[in-house]
Amino acid sequence: MGKKINKQADADLVRDLKQGDPAAMEEIVKRYSNKVYNLAYHLTRDAHAAEEIMQDVFLTVIAKIGTLTTEAYFSTWLYRVTTNAAYGYLRKEKKFSEQTPVEDIDQEQYLDYDWSTLPDDVLLSEESKEVLRESIDSLPEAMRTVVVLKDVEGLKNEEIAETLGISVPAVKSRLHRGRLILRQLLSEYFSKYTEPSGEEK
**Residues in the site for another protein, rule: CB under 8 A?**
20, 22, 25-26, 29, 33-34, 37-38, 41-42, 47, 51, 54-55, 58-59, 62-63, 111-116, 123-124, 128-129, 132-133, 136, 147, 151-152, 154, 172, 175-176, 179-180, 182-183, 186-187, 197, 199-201
| DSSP secondary structure of 5-73 | GGG--HHHHHHHHHTT-HHHHHHHHHHHHHHHHHHHHHHH--HHHHHHHHHHHHHHHHHHGGG---GGG
Q: Which run of H or of E encompasses 185? A: helix 168-190
Q: For residue 51, what are the contacts with CB-CB under 8 A and spacing of at least 6?
A: 37
CB of 9 to another protein, least distance (A): 21
Min dist. Cβ of residue 80 to another protein (A): 20
Amino acid residing at 28 = I
Task: Output phi, psi for 6, to 5 deg.
Answer: -70, -15
- Kindly state the smallest distance separating residue 116's Cβ from another protein, in Å: 4
Q: Please list, in sequence order, all residues whose beta carbon lies within 8 angstroms of the beta carbon of residue 148, skipping any fewer than 6 positions away.
A: 39, 42, 43, 136
Other Cβ atoms less than 10 A from the Cβ of 135: the count is: 21
Least spacing, CB of residue 102 vs another protein, in Å: 15
Q: Tell the smallest beta-carbon distance from residue 192 to another protein (Å).
A: 15
